[in-house]
Amino acid sequence: MISAGRQSYGEGISFVLLATLGWSLSGLFVRLMPGLDGWQLNCWRGFWMAVALLCYLVVVYGRDLWSRFRAIPVLALCFSAGFFALGSTLYVTSLTLVSTATISVIGASSPIFTGLLSPWVTGEKPGAAAWFAAALAMTGVGIIAWSRIEGGNVLGILISVMVPMTFAGQTLALRRYRAVDMTPAICAGGFLSFIAAGLLGFLAGHAGGGFEVGLRELLLLALMGPLQLSIPLVFYIKGARSVPAVTLSLIAMLDAVLNPLWPWLFVGERPEASSFMGGAVIILAVLISIFGGHWLKPRTG
């Protein structure tokens, strides 16, 4: 068992910021593999993420690894692994039905779902600063995506709404069971994602389903899985030990700010002006979420 008391709030914030930095590399990797669709990307990204996490767990726990799986409550294992696999699958499905901009705006509602559910799941009641930051962050994402929003069908919108719900569920599960190392549960979720995306890839018309990729892409995905998912998830799990659930979700929204940065730096894809304006609003929202509770505390003496 890992005690949440051994880690400070500041250390937790640092871990979540590092996790978000890693997640933000997804856009760059996708640009390097234009020939793959979401099923292929999600299939092998999930596989290599799970393999990297398994190697990490073997190094950390050695022969004690199986006991670490058993230490996770069954419900926690099912929820954490299930939310990861379901969220990944729903995200890929939503990309085929609505625009990426629409998904970005809907995805910004994750802190709202987290805040509404956290009193019952984790016992945490978000304060006024957290709710204000969540609303401000949604505004920032709206500014970024407004010029690119396209009308989506009802089914696409419904599926898109389920994506931030699954991320909120994942965050709440990590926060509720923060006394246990949940990395084994995420590892299991990666293998589930591999199987689900691989099989659903057959529906996209691939002869080999989502499993069908070239050698170059497979090598890039072998780098993407650990760098963009495994390492960030380890940091995020660590951060969840001392950072409230709503703040976790809000910091993760910095992905919308950082994701366009890497293609701009490495492949010359310049972000629109709205990305800079919306990004500034999101950064302000995250700062309010991190420090707002301290600013609003009544001063004594």
Interval 165-195: pLDDT, tens: 999 999 999 999 988 999 999 999 999 999 9
DSSP state of 228: I
Q: Residue 224: its pLDDT value, please?
A: 94
Q: Residue 37: its pLDDT value, please?
A: 86
Helix (H, G, I), strand (E, B) or coil at 72: coil
Q: Residue 297: its pLDDT value, please?
A: 52
Q: Residue 293: its pLDDT value, please?
A: 61
Q: From residue 15, give the alpha-carbon distance in Å to each of 75, 85, 131, 135.
A: 25, 23, 22, 24
Q: Residue 148: its pLDDT value, please?
A: 62
Task: Give this prediction's pTM.
Answer: 0.84
Are 100 and 252 contacting, i.e. CB atoms less than 8 angstroms apart? no
Cα–Cα dist 185/173, whole Å: 10
Q: Residue 150: its pLDDT value, please?
A: 58
Q: Residue 12: its pLDDT value, please?
A: 93
Tens of pLDDT, residue by residue over 193-208, are: 999 999 989 987 888 9
Low-confidence ranges of the chain (pLDDT < 70): 1-5, 99-101, 147-153, 293-301
